[in-house]
Amino acid sequence: MNKRVFSLFAIAIGLMLVVAACGGNSTEAPVAQTEAAVVVTDAPVAATEAPVSLSGDPIRGGLLYDEWTKVLGVDAPEGDQPLWATQSTNTRSGGTTWRCKECHGWDYLGKDGAYGGGSHATGFVGVMQVAGTDPNEILAALKTGDHDFSAYMDDQALIDIALFLGENMLDSAAFITDKAAVGGDAANGETIYTEELH
Ligand code: HEC
Contact 68, 104 (CB under 8 A): no
- From CA 142, how far away is CA 137, in angstroms rounded? 9
User: How high is the mean pLDDT of the chain?
Assistant: 83
Nearest CA to ligand 1 atom 37: 100
What CA–CA distances, in Å, run from 36 to 22, 39, 41, 42, 50? 21, 5, 9, 10, 20
Distance CA 52, CA 57 (A): 16
**Are the C-beta atoms of 107 and 172 separated by less than 8 Å?**
yes
Q: How far is the CA of 75 from the centre of ligand 1 (A)?
A: 20
Ligand 1 site: residues with CB under 6 angstroms?
Answer: 65, 68, 81, 83-84, 97-100, 102-104, 124-125, 127, 129-130, 138, 141-142, 147, 149, 161, 165
CA angle 51, 83, 116 (to 5 degrees): 95
> Atom of ligand 1 at shortest distance to CA of 98?
5
Q: Which among 58, 59, 63 has a CA at the least distance from the CA of 73?
A: 63
CB-based burial, 19-51: b 16+ in 10 Å, e otherwise: eeeeeeeeeeeeeeeeeeeeeeeeeeeeeeeee
pLDDT confidence of 184, banded at 50, 70, 90? confident
Higher pLDDT, 193 or 47: 193
Q: What is the CA(104)–ligand 1 centre distance, in A?
A: 7
Amino acid 50: pLDDT: 66
Best residue among 100, 136, 148, 152 to mutate for probing ligand 1, ranked by most atoms within 8 Å of CB: 100
CA-nearest residue for atom 6, ligand 1, is 100
pLDDT value, residue 17: 43
Q: How far is the CA of 115 from the centre of ligand 1 (A)?
A: 14
**Confidence band (pLDDT; 50, 70, 90) for 196?**
confident
Long-range contacts of 70-77 (CB under 8 A, 24+ apart): 70/197, 71/157, 71/197, 72/153, 72/157, 74/152, 77/152
Residue nearest to atom 18 of ligand 1 (CA): 125
Burial of 62 (0-12, 13-18, 19+ CB in 10 A): buried
Give the mean model confidence (pLDDT) for residues 186-198: 88
Residue 173 has pLDDT above 80, yes or no: yes
pLDDT at 18: 43
Smallest CA separation from ligand 1 atom 17, residue: 125
